Chains A and B, each alone.
Chain A
């Protein structure tokens, strides 16, 4: 099983743990992720206005390169996935954007949205299959009570992302079942973590994180698991700024648990400061 792979900036800098564990686990599962040679930053946010054509170019370059390789494009970072997936949808459905982008890029073969981009979790669910994954688990996470945190970017807008039911998703819980863990359901699992507001409106973001974490905690979770470097940072760092002043729950990338369940590392320790 072979895919083109788009890492994005954050996985090469602050979220190296996410990339390292994801690639290691993929290798153990017999999945080949071939990093694209000339990927560029996706821009981190999808332009919600209809007149910013330049912001679509890097996504289209990667989508077209994957198409030329005859492979699906796999992402790991939730933000990159959001941007590339929405850009692909836009170029498929909006003639004006399609013409302008192709007029600028002058690719050998115009790109019309025929490629496909999937998130690592979708790769596990739809390409490998969670049943198959469960067969390959060497150290099941039996008895571990873990709460999935979805955030916004993978789920919404539901019709375009087509990732899962946006109001009641189950892909991460199903993933946790495959790993042998117990998934903890709690009301705030699809609520926003405050994104970049943690940068210039820290109090607002801290309040949001406190709601999410205390909700998961009160439903019996022992840890949170997520798939986005910014959610990860907010959930970890802003927990320290809540009135309680110390983290209530450890936070893992989903790939760290995967790595552990595949027997590729020791039990994930409760993480201290990242510095």
Chain B
């Protein structure tokens, strides 16, 4: 059996919906999430654009963006969304789908050696590994 790229894409889009529990179709692109986001200026795709790309099924743009790795899970976007779309949950689902692939990890043990010795709390180190590595 052959699985086409198109089919694979639609499977991943379904995965995102199931894992995040969010329905991107609800979003009407008001941009409040982006306006609320304290780290949007460092993102290559803005939070509301991530949702728009997902609505259009344009997965590669989203998966290759730096946005999902810059999102700090501060939950401000979700709190201000008038359509109850939790963008923080969507960002997490996107990260998780990439991280669960063998060999994909955004943080290495040697990256944290220095900050640990500088007094970075355990909470910070554990959080970072939970978010950026598997």
Q: Could you list which residues of chain A lie within 8 angstroms of chain B, going by C-beta atoms?
A: 8-10, 13-15, 41, 43-45, 47-51, 77, 79, 152, 156-158, 166-167, 191-192, 194-201, 204, 208, 229-230, 232-233, 237, 274-275
Contact = CB atoms under 8 A, between A and B. Distances in A.
A93 to B, nearest CB: 12
Given A45-B130, A208-B39, A230-B123, A197 B78 contact: no
Given A194-B72, A199-B112, A233 B78 contact: no
B73 A48 contact: yes
Contact of A49 (B72, B96, B119, B132): B96
> Which of A44, A48, A195 has the largest number of chain B CB atoms within 10 A?
A48
Contacts of A201: 42, 70
Given A48-B92, A49-B89, A14 B121 contact: yes
Contact of A152 (B75, B96, B121, B125): B75
Contacts of A199: 107, 111-112, 115, 120, 124-125, 128
Given A195-B72, A204-B70, A208-B39, A274 B128 contact: no
A9 B123 contact: yes
A13 B131 CA distance: 22
Interface stretch (B6-14, B17-25, B52-60): B17-25
B123 A77 contact: yes
Contacts of B79: 156-158, 166-167
Contact of A208 (B38, B73, B89): B38
Contacts of A10: 121-123
Interface residues of B, number: 40
Contacts, number: 129
A201 B118 CA distance: 16
B62 to A, nearest CB: 16
Given A156-B74, A156-B79, A195-B127, A48 B20 contact: yes
24 contacts: A9-B126, A41-B126, A44-B122, A44-B126, A45-B127, A45-B130, A51-B19, A79-B127, A152-B76, A157-B79, A192-B39, A192-B74, A195-B74, A195-B124, A195-B127, A196-B125, A196-B127, A196-B131, A199-B112, A199-B124, A199-B128, A201-B42, A208-B39, A230-B123
Closest 8 A/B residue pairs (Cβ) = A192-B74, A48-B92, A156-B75, A196-B128, A44-B126, A229-B121, A10-B123, A152-B74
Contact of A233 (B42, B93, B120): B120
A230 B121 contact: yes
Contacts of A157: 75, 78-79, 86
B90 to A, nearest CB: 9
B92 to A, nearest CB: 4
Given A50-B20, A192-B72, A204-B70, 15 more contacts: A10-B122, A10-B123, A14-B121, A45-B131, A48-B20, A48-B86, A49-B93, A152-B73, A195-B72, A195-B127, A198-B115, A200-B111, A201-B70, A208-B39, A274-B119
B14 to A, nearest CB: 13
Contacts of A8: 123
B29 to A, nearest CB: 22
Secondary structure at the B interface, as helix, strand, loop or mixed, is: helix
Nearest to B112: A199
B120 A197 contact: no
A204 B128 CA distance: 15
Contacts of A41: 126
Interface in B76-110: 76, 78-79, 86, 88-89, 92-93, 96, 106-107
A233 B111 contact: no
